[in-house]
Protein backbone atom coordinates (compact mmCIF):
# COMPACT_ATOMS: atom_id res chain seq x y z
CA UNK A 1 0.00 0.00 0.00
CA UNK A 2 1.59 3.28 -1.05
CA UNK A 3 1.73 6.12 1.40
CA UNK A 4 -1.34 8.01 0.44
CA UNK A 5 -0.42 11.05 2.45
CA UNK A 6 2.85 11.53 0.57
CA UNK A 7 1.09 10.83 -2.68
CA UNK A 8 -1.47 13.49 -2.05
CA UNK A 9 0.92 16.24 -1.11
CA UNK A 10 3.07 15.55 -4.16
CA UNK A 11 0.03 15.54 -6.33
CA UNK A 12 -1.23 18.83 -5.16
CA UNK A 13 2.13 20.49 -5.38
CA UNK A 14 2.63 19.44 -8.98
CA UNK A 15 -0.97 20.11 -9.71
CA UNK A 16 -0.69 23.79 -8.90
CA UNK A 17 2.44 24.35 -10.91
CA UNK A 18 1.66 22.82 -14.26
CA UNK A 19 -1.04 23.49 -16.75
CA UNK A 20 -3.89 21.04 -16.86
CA UNK A 21 -2.88 19.93 -20.35
CA UNK A 22 0.32 18.45 -18.98
CA UNK A 23 -1.20 16.66 -16.07
CA UNK A 24 -2.19 13.26 -17.41
CA UNK A 25 1.32 12.18 -18.31
CA UNK A 26 3.19 13.18 -15.19
CA UNK A 27 5.43 10.30 -14.23
CA UNK A 28 5.34 11.34 -10.60
CA UNK A 29 1.99 9.66 -10.18
CA UNK A 30 2.84 6.35 -11.62
CA UNK A 31 4.94 4.79 -8.90
CA UNK A 32 2.08 5.39 -6.50
CA UNK A 33 -0.76 4.44 -8.72
CA UNK A 34 0.22 0.97 -9.86
CA UNK A 35 -1.23 -1.45 -7.38
CA UNK A 36 -0.16 -4.26 -9.72
CA UNK A 37 -1.99 -7.33 -8.76
CA UNK A 38 -1.94 -10.57 -10.71
CA UNK A 39 -5.03 -11.24 -12.80
CA UNK A 40 -7.69 -12.74 -10.62
CA UNK A 41 -9.14 -16.12 -11.38
CA UNK A 42 -12.55 -16.36 -13.03
CA UNK A 43 -15.40 -15.72 -10.66
CA UNK A 44 -13.33 -13.78 -8.17
CA UNK A 45 -14.42 -10.21 -7.69
CA UNK A 46 -11.44 -8.51 -9.17
CA UNK A 47 -12.37 -5.01 -8.16
CA UNK A 48 -9.44 -4.45 -5.89
CA UNK A 49 -7.05 -5.12 -8.71
CA UNK A 50 -8.71 -3.12 -11.45
CA UNK A 51 -7.21 -0.39 -13.56
CA UNK A 52 -4.59 1.79 -11.97
CA UNK A 53 -5.70 5.36 -12.08
CA UNK A 54 -3.90 7.65 -14.45
CA UNK A 55 -5.93 10.67 -13.55
CA UNK A 56 -4.28 13.53 -11.75
CA UNK A 57 -7.17 13.85 -9.31
CA UNK A 58 -6.10 13.59 -5.71
CA UNK A 59 -8.60 10.90 -4.96
CA UNK A 60 -8.08 7.24 -5.66
CA UNK A 61 -11.01 4.86 -5.22
CA UNK A 62 -8.76 1.85 -4.76
CA UNK A 63 -6.92 3.43 -1.94
CA UNK A 64 -10.09 4.70 -0.40
CA UNK A 65 -11.65 1.28 -0.52
CA UNK A 66 -8.87 -0.40 1.34
CA UNK A 67 -7.94 2.42 3.63
CA UNK A 68 -11.09 4.33 4.37
CA UNK A 69 -9.35 6.69 6.78
CA UNK A 70 -5.83 7.39 5.55
CA UNK A 71 -3.85 9.71 7.77
CA UNK A 72 -4.22 13.05 6.04
CA UNK A 73 -1.16 15.29 6.15
CA UNK A 74 -3.34 18.36 6.20
CA UNK A 75 -4.44 17.53 9.71
CA UNK A 76 -0.96 18.00 11.09
CA UNK A 77 -0.86 20.59 13.82
CA UNK A 78 2.12 22.35 12.29
CA UNK A 79 3.78 22.17 8.89
CA UNK A 80 6.91 20.02 8.62
CA UNK A 81 10.06 22.05 9.23
CA UNK A 82 12.97 22.85 6.92
CA UNK A 83 13.30 21.93 3.27
CA UNK A 84 10.17 19.77 3.26
CA UNK A 85 7.94 22.83 3.54
CA UNK A 86 6.24 23.32 0.24
CA UNK A 87 5.51 26.65 -1.22
CA UNK A 88 1.91 26.23 -2.26
CA UNK A 89 0.48 29.19 -3.97
CA UNK A 90 -3.05 28.55 -2.85
CA UNK A 91 -2.84 26.00 -0.05
CA UNK A 92 -6.42 26.61 1.10
CA UNK A 93 -7.73 25.88 -2.35
CA UNK A 94 -5.65 22.72 -2.69
CA UNK A 95 -6.82 21.47 0.66
CA UNK A 96 -10.36 22.22 -0.27
CA UNK A 97 -10.17 20.30 -3.59
CA UNK A 98 -8.42 17.45 -1.86
CA UNK A 99 -11.05 17.31 0.82
CA UNK A 100 -13.88 17.40 -1.68
CA UNK A 101 -12.21 15.13 -4.30
CA UNK A 102 -12.07 15.93 -7.99
CA UNK A 103 -15.42 15.50 -9.70
CA UNK A 104 -16.34 12.66 -12.08
CA UNK A 105 -15.99 14.76 -15.15
CA UNK A 106 -12.55 16.04 -14.32
CA UNK A 107 -11.31 12.64 -13.19
CA UNK A 108 -12.42 10.86 -16.33
CA UNK A 109 -11.20 13.64 -18.60
CA UNK A 110 -8.00 13.98 -16.57
CA UNK A 111 -8.24 17.72 -16.17
CA UNK A 112 -7.87 19.92 -13.12
CA UNK A 113 -10.93 20.29 -10.90
CA UNK A 114 -11.55 23.11 -8.44
CA UNK A 115 -13.21 23.44 -5.05
CA UNK A 116 -16.33 25.33 -6.10
CA UNK A 117 -19.71 23.74 -5.45
CA UNK A 118 -19.95 23.31 -9.19
CA UNK A 119 -16.49 23.15 -10.68
CA UNK A 120 -15.55 25.32 -13.64
CA UNK A 121 -15.36 22.39 -16.06
CA UNK A 122 -18.84 21.21 -15.17
CA UNK A 123 -20.22 24.72 -15.50
CA UNK A 124 -18.85 24.89 -19.02
CA UNK A 125 -20.07 21.43 -19.87
CA UNK A 126 -23.56 22.21 -18.56
CA UNK A 127 -23.73 25.37 -20.63
CA UNK A 128 -22.71 23.39 -23.69
CA UNK A 129 -25.37 20.70 -23.29
CA UNK A 130 -28.11 22.95 -21.93
CA UNK A 131 -28.23 21.34 -18.47
CA UNK A 132 -30.28 23.28 -15.93
CA UNK A 133 -29.08 21.29 -12.94
CA UNK A 134 -25.29 21.73 -12.91
CA UNK A 135 -25.25 21.12 -9.15
CA UNK A 136 -26.40 17.56 -9.81
CA UNK A 137 -23.86 16.88 -12.51
CA UNK A 138 -20.72 17.92 -10.59
CA UNK A 139 -20.41 14.76 -8.48
CA UNK A 140 -17.47 14.02 -6.20
CA UNK A 141 -18.49 10.99 -4.16
CA UNK A 142 -17.80 7.63 -5.81
CA UNK A 143 -20.71 5.38 -6.69
CA UNK A 144 -19.91 3.13 -3.72
CA UNK A 145 -19.87 6.10 -1.38
CA UNK A 146 -23.18 7.26 -2.80
CA UNK A 147 -24.65 3.83 -2.18
CA UNK A 148 -23.53 3.99 1.44
CA UNK A 149 -23.43 1.17 3.97
CA UNK A 150 -27.11 0.17 3.75
CA UNK A 151 -27.49 -3.59 3.56
CA UNK A 152 -30.82 -4.38 1.97
CA UNK A 153 -31.52 -1.31 -0.09
CA UNK A 154 -34.07 -2.87 -2.42
CA UNK A 155 -36.34 -4.15 0.35
CA UNK A 156 -38.75 -1.33 0.86
CA UNK A 157 -41.92 -3.35 0.48
CA UNK A 158 -43.18 -5.44 3.30
CA UNK A 159 -44.96 -8.75 3.24
CA UNK A 160 -45.08 -11.18 6.12
CA UNK A 161 -43.65 -14.54 5.05
CA UNK A 162 -45.20 -17.68 6.56
CA UNK A 163 -43.04 -19.73 8.92
CA UNK A 164 -42.56 -23.48 8.60
CA UNK A 165 -45.03 -24.28 11.40
CA UNK A 166 -47.88 -22.68 9.46
CA UNK A 167 -47.54 -25.13 6.55
CA UNK A 168 -49.45 -28.34 6.06
CA UNK A 169 -47.41 -31.46 5.42
CA UNK A 170 -48.36 -31.95 1.73
CA UNK A 171 -46.40 -30.31 -1.08
CA UNK A 172 -47.35 -29.66 -4.66
CA UNK A 173 -45.74 -28.25 -7.81
CA UNK A 174 -46.41 -25.10 -9.77
CA UNK A 175 -44.62 -23.80 -12.86
CA UNK A 176 -44.11 -20.08 -13.18
CA UNK A 177 -43.96 -17.97 -16.36
CA UNK A 178 -43.52 -14.31 -17.17
CA UNK A 179 -46.33 -14.26 -19.68
CA UNK A 180 -49.36 -16.19 -20.75
CA UNK A 181 -47.82 -17.41 -23.98
CA UNK A 182 -44.31 -18.10 -22.81
CA UNK A 183 -42.16 -20.34 -24.98
CA UNK A 184 -39.26 -20.64 -22.58
CA UNK A 185 -39.06 -23.22 -19.81
CA UNK A 186 -40.99 -22.20 -16.72
CA UNK A 187 -39.56 -22.10 -13.21
CA UNK A 188 -40.55 -25.10 -11.17
CA UNK A 189 -41.56 -24.42 -7.56
CA UNK A 190 -42.49 -26.69 -4.70
CA UNK A 191 -45.27 -25.10 -2.71
CA UNK A 192 -47.38 -25.92 0.30
CA UNK A 193 -50.69 -24.71 1.72
CA UNK A 194 -50.36 -22.66 4.89
CA UNK A 195 -52.71 -21.11 7.43
CA UNK A 196 -52.16 -17.37 7.91
CA UNK A 197 -52.86 -15.97 11.36
CA UNK A 198 -56.55 -15.37 11.97
CA UNK A 199 -57.54 -17.22 8.79
CA UNK A 200 -61.25 -18.09 8.85
CA UNK A 201 -61.78 -21.84 9.28
CA UNK A 202 -62.98 -23.54 6.13
CA UNK A 203 -61.62 -20.90 3.75
CA UNK A 204 -59.34 -22.10 0.97
CA UNK A 205 -55.72 -21.91 2.17
CA UNK A 206 -53.17 -19.83 0.24
CA UNK A 207 -50.02 -21.41 -1.20
CA UNK A 208 -46.54 -20.41 -0.19
CA UNK A 209 -42.90 -21.45 -0.36
CA UNK A 210 -41.73 -23.36 2.69
CA UNK A 211 -38.59 -21.85 4.27
CA UNK A 212 -35.45 -23.46 2.75
CA UNK A 213 -37.47 -25.19 0.03
CA UNK A 214 -37.42 -22.36 -2.50
CA UNK A 215 -35.49 -22.34 -5.79
CA UNK A 216 -31.82 -21.30 -5.78
CA UNK A 217 -30.68 -17.94 -7.17
CA UNK A 218 -28.99 -19.89 -9.96
CA UNK A 219 -32.20 -21.55 -11.07
CA UNK A 220 -33.90 -18.15 -11.02
CA UNK A 221 -31.12 -16.70 -13.23
CA UNK A 222 -31.48 -19.59 -15.65
CA UNK A 223 -35.23 -19.17 -15.82
CA UNK A 224 -35.14 -15.41 -16.37
CA UNK A 225 -32.30 -15.48 -18.87
CA UNK A 226 -34.19 -18.19 -20.77
CA UNK A 227 -37.12 -15.81 -20.87
CA UNK A 228 -34.90 -12.96 -22.09
CA UNK A 229 -33.46 -15.21 -24.81
CA UNK A 230 -36.98 -16.09 -25.96
CA UNK A 231 -37.91 -12.42 -26.17
CA UNK A 232 -34.76 -11.96 -28.25
CA UNK A 233 -36.25 -14.18 -30.92
CA UNK A 234 -38.96 -11.61 -31.66
CA UNK A 235 -38.64 -9.35 -34.67
CA UNK A 236 -36.25 -6.46 -34.26
CA UNK A 237 -38.92 -3.86 -35.05
CA UNK A 238 -41.12 -5.01 -32.20
CA UNK A 239 -38.41 -4.65 -29.57
CA UNK A 240 -37.54 -1.76 -27.35
CA UNK A 241 -34.05 -0.48 -26.71
CA UNK A 242 -34.35 -1.72 -23.13
CA UNK A 243 -35.10 -5.28 -24.18
CA UNK A 244 -32.34 -5.21 -26.82
CA UNK A 245 -29.74 -4.18 -24.24
CA UNK A 246 -31.00 -6.76 -21.76
CA UNK A 247 -30.79 -9.49 -24.41
CA UNK A 248 -27.42 -8.31 -25.68
CA UNK A 249 -25.89 -8.31 -22.19
CA UNK A 250 -27.13 -11.84 -21.42
CA UNK A 251 -25.88 -13.17 -24.73
CA UNK A 252 -22.59 -11.32 -24.46
CA UNK A 253 -21.85 -12.71 -21.01
CA UNK A 254 -23.09 -16.23 -21.65
CA UNK A 255 -20.85 -16.48 -24.73
CA UNK A 256 -17.84 -14.99 -22.97
CA UNK A 257 -17.66 -12.49 -25.80
CA UNK A 258 -15.15 -10.11 -24.22
CA UNK A 259 -12.62 -12.88 -23.59
CA UNK A 260 -13.04 -14.26 -27.10
CA UNK A 261 -12.47 -10.81 -28.58
CA UNK A 262 -9.48 -10.07 -26.40
CA UNK A 263 -7.89 -13.38 -27.40
CA UNK A 264 -7.80 -12.07 -30.97
CA UNK A 265 -5.68 -9.05 -30.05
CA UNK A 266 -2.47 -9.59 -31.96
CA UNK A 267 -0.37 -7.35 -29.77
CA UNK A 268 -1.20 -9.10 -26.54
CA UNK A 269 -2.23 -7.53 -23.26
CA UNK A 270 -0.10 -6.05 -20.54
CA UNK A 271 -0.81 -6.87 -16.94
CA UNK A 272 -2.87 -3.76 -16.31
CA UNK A 273 -5.07 -4.54 -19.30
CA UNK A 274 -5.55 -8.16 -18.29
CA UNK A 275 -6.66 -7.04 -14.85
CA UNK A 276 -9.09 -4.58 -16.38
CA UNK A 277 -10.60 -7.22 -18.67
CA UNK A 278 -10.97 -9.58 -15.73
CA UNK A 279 -12.74 -6.94 -13.64
CA UNK A 280 -14.96 -6.05 -16.55
CA UNK A 281 -15.98 -9.68 -17.00
CA UNK A 282 -16.94 -10.01 -13.34
CA UNK A 283 -18.80 -6.71 -13.54
CA UNK A 284 -20.78 -7.86 -16.57
CA UNK A 285 -21.69 -11.19 -15.07
CA UNK A 286 -22.99 -9.43 -11.96
CA UNK A 287 -24.89 -6.98 -14.13
CA UNK A 288 -26.46 -9.75 -16.14
CA UNK A 289 -27.63 -11.38 -12.90
CA UNK A 290 -28.88 -8.08 -11.59
CA UNK A 291 -30.83 -7.47 -14.77
CA UNK A 292 -32.45 -10.93 -14.38
CA UNK A 293 -33.39 -10.17 -10.79
CA UNK A 294 -34.59 -6.71 -11.77
CA UNK A 295 -36.93 -8.26 -14.33
CA UNK A 296 -38.39 -10.50 -11.64
CA UNK A 297 -38.52 -7.74 -9.02
CA UNK A 298 -40.33 -5.33 -11.31
CA UNK A 299 -42.90 -7.76 -12.68
CA UNK A 300 -46.27 -7.04 -11.15
CA UNK A 301 -47.97 -9.93 -12.82
CA UNK A 302 -46.63 -13.47 -13.02
CA UNK A 303 -48.34 -16.51 -14.52
CA UNK A 304 -48.57 -20.09 -13.40
CA UNK A 305 -49.61 -23.51 -14.55
CA UNK A 306 -50.26 -26.60 -12.53
CA UNK A 307 -48.77 -28.95 -15.08
CA UNK A 308 -45.57 -28.83 -17.07
CA UNK A 309 -47.02 -30.45 -20.18
CA UNK A 310 -47.40 -28.55 -23.44
CA UNK A 311 -50.76 -26.94 -23.75
CA UNK A 312 -51.41 -26.81 -20.01
CA UNK A 313 -53.41 -23.68 -19.29
CA UNK A 314 -51.35 -20.73 -18.07
CA UNK A 315 -53.15 -18.34 -15.76
CA UNK A 316 -52.32 -15.10 -14.01
CA UNK A 317 -51.33 -15.38 -10.36
CA UNK A 318 -54.40 -15.24 -8.13
CA UNK A 319 -54.82 -14.10 -4.54
CA UNK A 320 -53.78 -17.50 -3.23
CA UNK A 321 -50.33 -17.16 -4.83
CA UNK A 322 -49.41 -13.73 -3.47
CA UNK A 323 -47.12 -15.25 -0.91
CA UNK A 324 -45.23 -17.08 -3.67
CA UNK A 325 -44.86 -13.82 -5.60
CA UNK A 326 -43.66 -12.07 -2.44
CA UNK A 327 -41.09 -14.81 -1.84
CA UNK A 328 -39.70 -14.42 -5.36
CA UNK A 329 -39.59 -10.68 -4.95
CA UNK A 330 -37.75 -10.94 -1.67
CA UNK A 331 -35.16 -13.24 -3.24
CA UNK A 332 -34.70 -10.70 -6.01
CA UNK A 333 -34.29 -7.89 -3.48
CA UNK A 334 -31.65 -9.74 -1.56
CA UNK A 335 -29.69 -10.70 -4.65
CA UNK A 336 -29.91 -7.21 -6.15
CA UNK A 337 -28.73 -5.51 -2.98
CA UNK A 338 -25.58 -7.63 -2.98
CA UNK A 339 -24.99 -7.51 -6.73
CA UNK A 340 -25.42 -3.75 -6.83
CA UNK A 341 -22.72 -3.26 -4.22
CA UNK A 342 -20.23 -5.36 -6.21
CA UNK A 343 -21.19 -3.74 -9.50
CA UNK A 344 -20.78 -0.18 -8.26
CA UNK A 345 -17.48 -0.98 -6.61
CA UNK A 346 -16.15 -2.29 -9.92
CA UNK A 347 -17.77 0.53 -11.86
CA UNK A 348 -15.91 3.07 -9.73
CA UNK A 349 -12.84 2.01 -11.73
CA UNK A 350 -14.42 3.76 -14.74
CA UNK A 351 -13.64 7.01 -12.91
CA UNK A 352 -9.98 6.40 -13.71
CA UNK A 353 -10.28 4.54 -17.00
CA UNK A 354 -7.27 2.79 -18.43
CA UNK A 355 -6.11 4.18 -21.70
CA UNK A 356 -5.90 1.81 -24.65
CA UNK A 357 -4.88 3.46 -27.86
CA UNK A 358 -6.75 2.34 -30.92
CA UNK A 359 -3.60 2.51 -33.06
CA UNK A 360 -1.75 0.16 -30.71
CA UNK A 361 -4.37 -2.45 -29.85
CA UNK A 362 -7.40 -1.97 -32.07
CA UNK A 363 -9.29 -5.12 -31.10
CA UNK A 364 -8.75 -4.66 -27.39
CA UNK A 365 -9.73 -0.99 -27.56
CA UNK A 366 -12.91 -1.73 -29.52
CA UNK A 367 -14.00 -4.68 -27.46
CA UNK A 368 -13.44 -2.87 -24.18
CA UNK A 369 -15.44 0.09 -25.44
CA UNK A 370 -18.27 -2.18 -26.52
CA UNK A 371 -18.24 -3.94 -23.14
CA UNK A 372 -18.29 -0.65 -21.23
CA UNK A 373 -21.03 0.76 -23.42
CA UNK A 374 -23.28 -2.27 -22.83
CA UNK A 375 -22.55 -2.18 -19.08
CA UNK A 376 -23.21 1.53 -18.74
CA UNK A 377 -26.49 1.22 -20.59
CA UNK A 378 -27.72 -1.71 -18.53
CA UNK A 379 -27.12 0.08 -15.24
CA UNK A 380 -28.56 3.37 -16.57
CA UNK A 381 -31.71 1.55 -17.68
CA UNK A 382 -32.15 -0.36 -14.42
CA UNK A 383 -31.92 2.87 -12.44
CA UNK A 384 -34.11 4.80 -14.80
CA UNK A 385 -36.79 2.12 -14.75
CA UNK A 386 -36.64 1.74 -10.98
CA UNK A 387 -37.25 5.45 -10.53
CA UNK A 388 -40.42 5.21 -12.55
CA UNK A 389 -41.34 2.04 -10.70
CA UNK A 390 -40.58 3.13 -7.17
CA UNK A 391 -44.02 4.47 -6.41
CA UNK A 392 -45.86 1.79 -8.32
CA UNK A 393 -45.60 -1.90 -7.57
CA UNK A 394 -48.08 -4.36 -6.14
CA UNK A 395 -50.58 -2.97 -3.68
CA UNK A 396 -50.56 -6.07 -1.52
CA UNK A 397 -47.06 -5.24 -0.37
CA UNK A 398 -47.07 -2.48 2.15
CA UNK A 399 -44.60 0.33 1.60
CA UNK A 400 -42.21 1.26 4.31
CA UNK A 401 -42.45 4.94 3.56
CA UNK A 402 -39.11 6.16 4.88
CA UNK A 403 -37.23 3.24 3.32
CA UNK A 404 -38.98 3.92 0.05
CA UNK A 405 -38.07 7.61 0.12
CA UNK A 406 -34.48 6.74 0.87
CA UNK A 407 -34.46 4.20 -1.95
CA UNK A 408 -35.76 6.84 -4.34
CA UNK A 409 -33.23 9.43 -3.24
CA UNK A 410 -30.20 7.11 -3.46
CA UNK A 411 -31.35 5.68 -6.79
CA UNK A 412 -31.69 9.16 -8.23
CA UNK A 413 -28.15 10.04 -7.13
CA UNK A 414 -26.81 6.80 -8.60
CA UNK A 415 -28.75 7.32 -11.82
CA UNK A 416 -27.27 10.79 -12.25
CA UNK A 417 -23.85 9.43 -11.36
CA UNK A 418 -23.88 6.74 -14.06
CA UNK A 419 -25.27 9.24 -16.56
CA UNK A 420 -22.36 11.60 -15.90
CA UNK A 421 -19.84 8.75 -16.15
CA UNK A 422 -21.35 7.64 -19.44
CA UNK A 423 -21.30 11.15 -20.86
CA UNK A 424 -17.66 11.64 -19.88
CA UNK A 425 -16.53 8.24 -21.19
CA UNK A 426 -18.34 8.51 -24.52
CA UNK A 427 -17.81 12.20 -25.03
CA UNK A 428 -16.23 12.49 -28.45
CA UNK A 429 -17.41 11.81 -31.94
CA UNK A 430 -14.35 9.70 -32.46
CA UNK A 431 -15.08 7.33 -29.58
CA UNK A 432 -18.73 7.03 -30.55
CA UNK A 433 -17.93 6.35 -34.19
CA UNK A 434 -15.35 3.72 -33.33
CA UNK A 435 -17.95 2.09 -31.16
CA UNK A 436 -20.66 2.19 -33.79
CA UNK A 437 -18.31 0.71 -36.38
CA UNK A 438 -16.82 -1.91 -34.07
CA UNK A 439 -15.40 -4.74 -36.17
CA UNK A 440 -16.46 -8.36 -36.11
CA UNK A 441 -13.28 -9.17 -34.21
CA UNK A 442 -14.39 -6.90 -31.38
CA UNK A 443 -17.17 -9.48 -30.87
CA UNK A 444 -14.82 -12.43 -30.96
CA UNK A 445 -15.89 -13.08 -34.58
CA UNK A 446 -19.44 -13.76 -33.42
CA UNK A 447 -21.69 -12.37 -36.17
CA UNK A 448 -24.84 -12.84 -34.14
CA UNK A 449 -23.52 -10.73 -31.27
CA UNK A 450 -22.27 -8.05 -33.60
CA UNK A 451 -25.72 -7.88 -35.16
CA UNK A 452 -27.38 -7.70 -31.73
CA UNK A 453 -25.10 -4.81 -30.86
CA UNK A 454 -25.85 -3.03 -34.12
CA UNK A 455 -29.56 -3.46 -33.52
CA UNK A 456 -29.26 -1.98 -30.03
CA UNK A 457 -27.22 0.87 -31.46
CA UNK A 458 -29.81 1.50 -34.14
CA UNK A 459 -32.64 1.44 -31.60
CA UNK A 460 -31.11 3.97 -29.28
CA UNK A 461 -31.94 7.04 -31.36
CA UNK A 462 -35.58 6.01 -31.32
CA UNK A 463 -35.31 5.58 -27.57
CA UNK A 464 -33.86 9.09 -27.25
CA UNK A 465 -36.82 10.52 -29.11
CA UNK A 466 -39.18 8.65 -26.85
CA UNK A 467 -37.48 9.88 -23.66
CA UNK A 468 -37.24 13.40 -25.08
CA UNK A 469 -40.98 13.52 -25.63
CA UNK A 470 -41.86 12.47 -22.10
CA UNK A 471 -41.76 14.63 -19.05
CA UNK A 472 -39.96 13.12 -16.12
CA UNK A 473 -38.51 15.00 -13.18
CA UNK A 474 -35.61 12.57 -12.95
CA UNK A 475 -34.59 12.50 -16.62
CA UNK A 476 -33.13 15.99 -16.64
CA UNK A 477 -29.42 15.08 -16.63
CA UNK A 478 -30.08 12.11 -18.84
CA UNK A 479 -31.69 14.34 -21.45
CA UNK A 480 -28.99 17.00 -21.46
CA UNK A 481 -25.78 15.05 -20.81
CA UNK A 482 -26.54 12.05 -22.97
CA UNK A 483 -29.32 12.75 -25.43
CA UNK A 484 -28.72 16.42 -26.28
CA UNK A 485 -24.99 15.87 -26.29
CA UNK A 486 -25.02 12.89 -28.65
CA UNK A 487 -27.53 14.61 -30.86
CA UNK A 488 -25.26 17.60 -31.16
CA UNK A 489 -22.30 15.33 -31.90
CA UNK A 490 -24.13 13.51 -34.64
CA UNK A 491 -26.52 16.29 -35.59
CA UNK A 492 -29.20 13.78 -36.21
CA UNK A 493 -32.16 14.96 -34.20
CA UNK A 494 -34.05 16.53 -37.06
CA UNK A 495 -33.10 13.82 -39.53
CA UNK A 496 -34.45 11.04 -37.37
CA UNK A 497 -37.67 12.91 -36.79
CA UNK A 498 -38.12 13.45 -40.49
CA UNK A 499 -37.41 9.83 -41.18
CA UNK A 500 -40.21 8.64 -38.93
ZN1 LIG B 1 -14.41 19.11 -11.78
ZN1 LIG C 1 -17.36 19.10 -11.77
Tens of pLDDT, residue by residue, the chain (500 residues):
333 333 333 332 222 222 333 333 322 222 222 333 333 333 333 333 333 333 333 333 333 333 333 333 333 344 444 444 445 556 666 666 666 689 999 999 999 999 999 999 999 999 999 999 999 999 999 999 999 988 888 887 677 889 999 999 999 999 999 888 767 789 999 999 999 988 998 889 999 999 999 999 999 999 999 999 888 777 777 789 999 999 999 999 999 999 999 999 998 999 999 999 999 999 999 999 999 999 999 888 899 988 777 667 888 998 899 999 999 999 999 999 999 999 999 999 999 888 888 889 999 999 999 999 999 999 999 999 999 876 655 555 556 777 788 888 999 999 999 999 999 999 999 999 999 999 999 999 999 999 999 999 999 888 999 898 888 889 999 999 999 999 888 875 444 444 33
Ligand 2 geometric centre to CA of 432 (Å):
22
The answer on 272 and 412 residing in a single domain is yes
Is 456 buried (19+), middle (13-18) or exposed (0-12) by CB count in 10 A? buried
- Residue 121 CA, ligand 2 centroid: distance in Å: 6
Q: Closest ligand to 58 CA?
A: 1
Ligand in nearest proximity to the CA of 57: 1
Q: Are residues 246 and 127 in the same domain?
A: no
**What confidence score (pLDDT) does residue 237 get?**
75
Q: Is 158 helix (H, G, I), strand (E, B) or coil?
A: strand
Cα separation, 155 vs 369, whole angstroms: 33
Residue 217 lies in a domain: no
Smallest CA-to-CA distance from 301 within 183, 213, 182, 467 is with 182
For residue 194, the 8-state DSSP code is B
* Cβ atoms of 248 and 376 closer than 8 Å: no
- Distance in Å, CA 209 to ligand 1 centroid: 51
User: Where would I find the beta strands (DSSP E) of 167-300?
Assistant: 172-177, 187-193, 207-208
Same domain, yes or no, for 131 and 239?
Answer: no
Q: What is the dihedral of CA 412, 415, 416, 419, to 10 degrees?
A: -170
Identify which of 158, 205, 161, 399 has the alpha carbon closest to the alpha carbon of residue 319.
Answer: 205
82: left (phi over 0), alpha (psi -120 to 50) or beta: left
Answer yes or no: is 219 within a domain: no
Kindly state whether residues 248 and 135 are assigned to the same domain: no
| Nearest bound ligand to the CA of residue 135 | 2
Using the mean position of ligand 1's atoms as its centre, give its distance from the Cα of residue 490 in Å: 25
Tell me the CA–centroid distance for residue 104 and ligand 1, in Å. Answer: 7
Given 94, 116, 147, which residue is the final one in a domain?
Answer: 147
DSSP E strands in 268-401: the ranges are 303-305, 315-316, 398-399
Number of domains observed in the structure of the chain: 2
Are the C-beta atoms of 210 and 167 separated by less than 8 Å? yes
pLDDT of residue 251: 95
CA distance 287 to 335: 11
| Ligand 2 center from residue 481 Cα (angstroms) | 13
* Tally of CB atoms within 10 A around 484: 19
How far apart, in whole angstroms, are the C-alpha atoms of residue 340 and residue 3?
30
pLDDT for 259 equals 97
Final residue of a structural domain among 147, 171, 200:
147
Residue 192 lies in a domain: no
Question: Which one of the ligands is nearest to 102 CA?
Answer: 1
Same domain, yes or no, for 494 and 358?
yes
**318: in domain:** no
Position 184 in a domain: no
Alpha carbons 248 and 243: distance in angstroms, whole number: 8
Is 455 a domain residue?
yes
277 and 420 share one domain:
yes
Centre of ligand 2 from the C-alpha of residue 337, in Å? 28
Range of the domain at 252: 232-298+323-499
Measured CA to CA, the distance from residue 281 to residue 8 in angstroms comes to 31
Report the separation in Å between the CA atom of 118 and the middle of ligand 2, taken as the mean of its atom positions: 6
CA of 125 relative to ligand 2 center, distance in Å: 9
According to DSSP, residue 150 is labeled -
Domain presence at residue 213: no
Shared domain check, 470 and 333: yes
pLDDT in the model for residue 151: 82
CA distance 358 to 348: 23
Centre of ligand 1 from the C-alpha of residue 430, in Å: 23
Nearest ligand by distance to the CA of 118: 2
Ligand nearest to the CA of 112: 1
Centroid of ligand 2 to alpha carbon of 128 (angstroms) = 14
Q: Compute, in angstroms, the gap from residue 101 CA to the centroid of ligand 2.
A: 10
The bound ligand whose nearest atom lies closest to the alpha carbon of 137 is: 2
Cα of 140 vs centre of ligand 2, distance in Å, is 8
Ligand closest to 117 (CA) is 2
Taking Cα atoms as reference points, which of 262, 230, 248 lies closest to residue 458?
A: 248
Helix, strand, or coil here: 431? helix
Ligand 2 centroid to Cα of residue 275, in Å, is 28
Residues around ion ligand 1, judged by CB within 5 A, are 103, 106, 113, 119, 121
Kindly state whether residues 239 and 140 are assigned to the same domain: no
Q: How many A from CA of 272 to the centre of ligand 1?
A: 26
The pTM of this model reads 0.79
Answer with the one of 91, 122, 147 that is the final residue of a domain.
Answer: 147
- Pairing of β 315-316 and β 303-305: antiparallel
In a domain, residue 188? The reply is no
* CA of 109 relative to ligand 1 center, distance in Å: 9
| Helical (H) or strand (E) element with 157 | strand 157-158
* Helix, strand, coil % over all residues of the chain, rounded to 5: 55, 5, 35
How far is residue 172's CA from residue 157's CA, in Å, rounded to a whole number? 27
Mark whether 482 and 372 lie in a shared domain.
Answer: yes
Residues 245 and 378 in one domain: yes
Residues in the chain: 500
Distance 135 CA to ligand 2 centre (A): 9
Counting ligands in written order, which one lies closest to the CA of residue 113? 1
Nearest ligand to the CA atom of 108:
1
Same domain, 131 and 280: no
Ligand 1 mean position, distance from CA 344 (Å): 21
Residues 94 and 240 in one domain: no
Ligand nearest to the CA of 125: 2
Q: What is the pLDDT of residue 93?
A: 62
> What is the number of the ligand closest to the CA of 139?
2
How many Å lie between the centroid of ligand 1 and the Cα of residue 115? 8
Amino acid sequence: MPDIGTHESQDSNVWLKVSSAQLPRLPQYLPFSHPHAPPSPEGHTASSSSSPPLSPGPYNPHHARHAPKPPAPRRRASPPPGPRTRNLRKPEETNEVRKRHACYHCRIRRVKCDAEDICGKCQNECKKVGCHLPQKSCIRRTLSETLGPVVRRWSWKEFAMPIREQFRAERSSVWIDFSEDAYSSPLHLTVGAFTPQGWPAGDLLPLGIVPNEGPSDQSIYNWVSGQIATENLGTFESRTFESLIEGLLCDYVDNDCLQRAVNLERHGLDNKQRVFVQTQKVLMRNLRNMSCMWKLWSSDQLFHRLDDVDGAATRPFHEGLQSVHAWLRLSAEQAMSTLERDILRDMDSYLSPIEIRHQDKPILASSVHVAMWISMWQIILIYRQSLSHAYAGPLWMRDKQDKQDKFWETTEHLFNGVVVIYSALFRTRNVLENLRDASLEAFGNDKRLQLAFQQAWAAHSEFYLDVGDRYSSTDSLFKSHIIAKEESIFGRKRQVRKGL
